[in-house]
Amino acid sequence: MTLAPCAIHPARGDRQGADVIIVGGGLQGCSAALHLAGRGVDVLLLERDHVGRHASAANAGGVRRIGRHPAELELSAASARIWERLPDLVGTEAGFQRVGHMFVAETEDELDALRARRAQVQALGHEFEELVSAEEVRAAVPGIGRHVVGGLANWSDGYANPFATVRAFREAALRLGARIETGVRVDAARRLDDGWLLATTGGEYRADRVLNCAGFGGARVAAMFGDEASLSVEAPMMMVTTPVPRYHGPVLGRVKGRMSLKASANGSLLIGGGHRARYSDTARKVTVDFAGIAKSARTLGELMPDLTLGRIQRAWYGLEAYTTDGLPILGPSPSARGLLHAFGFSGHGFQLGPVIGRVLSDLVVDGTTGFDISAFALDRFSRPRPDNPVWCSLGARMAAKDSPGALPIS
């Protein structure tokens, strides 16, 4: 994939013009701003709310390679290397804890699915996922139910603080000369001979290139340029308990069922896993589903009957865009010259954030990238999908076994 490289100008001194305008101030947008500014590009980020308002800073903070779709493995490995040296890039670890991540199997069918998943990843040349026995699971996760029969782990995964991460990328981008304007909503786009003119609530802005990093608003922004993207907008919920006797173990998830568990530095438990708040697009309103919150707590109690949960301190949600195949939309627009997309990360874009900015900066400055991003092209939805095992995620394997509620962990 080769594009015409973007011409880089000295700082224009034009508040409403830039080499590149980024629409959206989540982690992907801030990462792009950082990487572009680091390469001398005059970059302006426009955010309709405040930076990190939605899913980027309001997610469960999972930093994982385990369970990803095979098409994401190359990007995820590169991003993992950035997370390991994050202070070199943004000046802070942003709360990154390398505690490991484990999916546990509660039936032999689920364990078979984990074995198949590991074999699939090994066949693609990756060795980071490790099958663990029931005894090894119990050693790593004291108090887990005796019904657990095994698991799949990656001990180099972990979690970070989403709010601190977005803030770190924003501040690092600003230090390198990027400009960020908040409270500015993009409403329309018009093609110019040498770029784009964006009509916004803050006036008109000109740019040679535009990056659509608008998260759950990505389809709306794409439509302004003539691109159609089919997305669902959902609101995954999380809750945090009061401090309890500390859970010493990896980030924990189930093969079947909606549940994830992390321990914070102060001993509180962060419980998530996919239960959704009720979102109304017409009313632009989100309502926390307390029945879903209670179900998450009960599910965790079934998995770890000896764990003291404490009192639920608070619950929250983050609006996120989900594609029909669960993969992000990443790369050049198929119809609008000078437009790049990076949205639709479907609930698992946080770990990828650091490398997404690098991919976008490569495409802008060099006209190409060394990563294979063909599986993420927007026009894939209009092409026949290959009948190939590389597309088969663990969630798809479990669903094929008539397991309702199988967790789509890739």
The verdict on pTM exceeding 0.85 is yes
Helices 353-365 and 162-175, axial angle in degrees (round to 10): 30
pLDDT of res. 284: 61
Residue 227: pLDDT over 80: yes
pLDDT of res. 143: 86
Least reliable range by pLDDT among 8-12, 27-31, 226-230 = 8-12
| Nearest one of 261, 364, 250, 325 to 70, comparing CA atoms | 325
pLDDT of res. 247: 74
248: burial class by Cβ within 10 Å (0-12, 13-18, 19+)? exposed
400: burial class by Cβ within 10 Å (0-12, 13-18, 19+)? exposed
Do the Cβ atoms of 270 and 264 come closer than 8 Å? yes
List, for residues 258-296, the tens digit of each pLDDT value.
778 888 878 888 888 667 777 666 546 677 777 777 787
Q: Is 17 helix (H, G, I), strand (E, B) or coil?
A: strand
* In the chain, ranges of CATH 3.50.50.60 domains: 1-93+160-229+324-398
CATH level 2 (architecture), domain 1-93+160-229+324-398 = 3-Layer(bba) Sandwich (3.50)
Residue 219: pLDDT over 50: yes
pLDDT of res. 334: 96
As a whole number, mean pLDDT of residues 211-233 equals 95
* In the chain, ranges of CATH 3.30.9.10 domains: 101-155+236-317
Instruction: Return d(Cα 344, Cα 328) in angstroms, integer.
Output: 5
Taking the CB of residue 197, how many other CB atoms lie within 10 A of it? 15
Please give the CATH topology (third level) of the domain spanning 101-155+236-317.
D-Amino Acid Oxidase; Chain A, domain 2 (3.30.9)
For residue 295, give both structure tokens: 């179900």
Taking the CB of residue 238, how many other CB atoms lie within 10 A of it? 23
Least reliable range by pLDDT among 78-82, 224-228, 288-292 = 288-292
Do the Cβ atoms of 89 and 126 come closer than 8 Å? no
Confidence grade of residue 410 (pLDDT, cut at 50, 70, 90): very low
Do the Cβ atoms of 242 and 266 come closer than 8 Å? no
Confidence grade of residue 386 (pLDDT, cut at 50, 70, 90): low
Instruction: Return d(Cα 306, Cα 148) in angstroms, integer.
Output: 14
pLDDT of res. 275: 74
pLDDT of res. 5: 61
